[in-house]
Amino acid sequence: MPSRTLVLLAPILLVAAVAQPQERDVARYVEKVKDPVIKEMRDRDAAAAEAAKAKTEEILAAEKSAEEARTEPERELRFDVSGIVRPSGPGAFTTNLWHLPPTAQYLTGTCWSFSTVSFFESEAHRLGGVDVKLSEMWVAYWEYVAKARGYVESRGSTAFEEGSESAAAIRVLRERGIVPREQYPGVLAEDGRFDHADLQARMKAFLQWCKDTGYWEEDVIVTCIRAILDRTMGAPPETVTWRGSTMTPAEFRDGVLHLIPDDYVGLMSTLSVPFYTRGEYAVPDNWWHDASYVNVPLDVWYGVILRSLDKGITVVIGGDVSEPGLYGEQDIAVVPSFDIPGNFIDQSSRELRFAEGVTTDDHGIHLVGHTRLDGHDWFLIKDSNRSSRHGAYEGYYMYRDDYVKLKMLTITVHRSVVEDILARLKPASPPA
């Protein structure tokens, strides 16, 4: 039965075939074949792009050179000073009160600290015969911390900039004491120059992140700000070593320097606040809205400067230094007649410039001397700014009376100079 045999054998043959081992393909890497035509086209395109880039750079360089050739050098408005009768230098001042040599602030906006700390040094010498260089960066460090707290408390509404006021330095003196500079230089850079550009940018970026995300954990934020400060300025010391004794910065302030923070008074002269009252000095650097400034008429304000110097007490002064009359290369600051004749400078002309933003709160300086010459008062100014190093007397300016009356805005003096003014102060008006 042939058909049957075939039926029975077919499954057997199939099983045998399946049981046989089969050859398997093996995977391996081989060098990729690059199409020579496509490669040629791509190489041609790359060369063309490189040539176009080089041509663009050539054209831009030529355009820049042409623009520079057409543009005049950057200039500033100044004036002929040859007719100005002025002191021959710092040594010509009949009153030249004790102060340490000028110190440069370099790339920082902390003039308020340099000027007020210089004032503290002169006061420590006057009050107790102590000659010591104090740390400007101690004051700046703790003011940065205070600003960070203020930023958190106001939920980002207060300014966080480098500028501040003499009143802030006095506040730091009151709350933190002070230390000698040699025990806290406040700079870690090898060249010893103060540079807060990157420091300020980092702190502001961090605080902006806090504001953007609504993160307001004050202790954490202040800890982070201090960590940023420490990397540039170094951590401030907790104690002071003075002639073999160890003390706190507050004890150094009280027992060695004999500085009493409440003995210092800030005065302004503005029509925006009633005279013989206390009020706010309304400028951005007064970020905490200090309203303790005593407001008096211009002639009284100016008279306080003269009276203080006559009593042997230096003065911190702040105001506008962005005028053609301030001429670093010539070491002077005057008001040229094309601005306003000197006999027209009064309360109103001063106020007009402040109200319109022509006079701004730019800079803090230390007034250390006085003389009379050619019918004018001249004041010797110790200055930390770079422009005071462009002339013959490094770190000094000579300000004429007209510049002080028109462009300077606040002064800080010892209260013994103004006891009569303080006695005249009217009580503060109740809030509306």
Residue 268 lies in a domain: yes
Q: What are phi and psi of 78, to 5 degrees?
A: -135, -165
* pTM listed for this prediction: 0.84
Give the pLDDT of residue 17: 52
For the domain that residue 289 is a member of, what is the CATH number? 3.90.70.10
State the Cα–Cα distance between residues 79 and 192, nearest whole angstrom. 36
Give the pLDDT of residue 10: 52
Residue 201: half-sphere exposure toward Cβ, Cα within 13 Å: 3
Structure token pair of residue 372: 């009379």
Give the pLDDT of residue 311: 98
Give the pLDDT of residue 261: 98
Structural domain span for residue 215: 90-424
Residue 23 lies in a domain: no
* Under 8 Å between Cβ of 319 and 396: no
Residue 228 lies in a domain: yes
Residue type, 298: L
Structure token pair of residue 323: 């005028």
Give the pLDDT of residue 255: 97
Residue 20 lies in a domain: no
Q: What is the DSSP letter of 244?
A: T
- Residues with Cβ within 8 Å of 115's Cβ and at least 6 positions away in sequence, in order, are 166, 316, 317, 318, 364, 365, 366, 382, 384
Reference 256, options 233, 240, 279; nearest CA is 240
Give the pLDDT of residue 432: 44
Residue 223 lies in a domain: yes
Antiparallel, parallel or unpaired: β 376-382 and 315-319:
unpaired
Contacts 24+ apart (CB under 8 A), 377-381: 377/306, 377/401, 377/404, 378/86, 378/87, 378/93, 379/305, 379/404, 380/87, 380/90, 380/93, 380/96, 381/317, 381/333
Domain count, the chain: 1
Across the chain, which has 432 residues, the per-10-residue mean pLDDT values are: 51 53 85 88 93 95 86 81 94 97 96 98 97 98 98 96 96 98 97 96 98 97 98 97 97 98 98 97 95 98 98 98 92 95 96 95 97 97 95 97 98 98 82 45
Residue 325 lies in a domain: yes
Residue 22 lies in a domain: no
Give the pLDDT of residue 70: 79
For the chain, count helices (H), then strands (E).
Answer: 12, 13
Residue 174 lies in a domain: yes
Give the pLDDT of residue 1: 52
**CA distances to 63, 145, 146, 206, 216 from 154, in Å:** 49, 14, 12, 16, 10
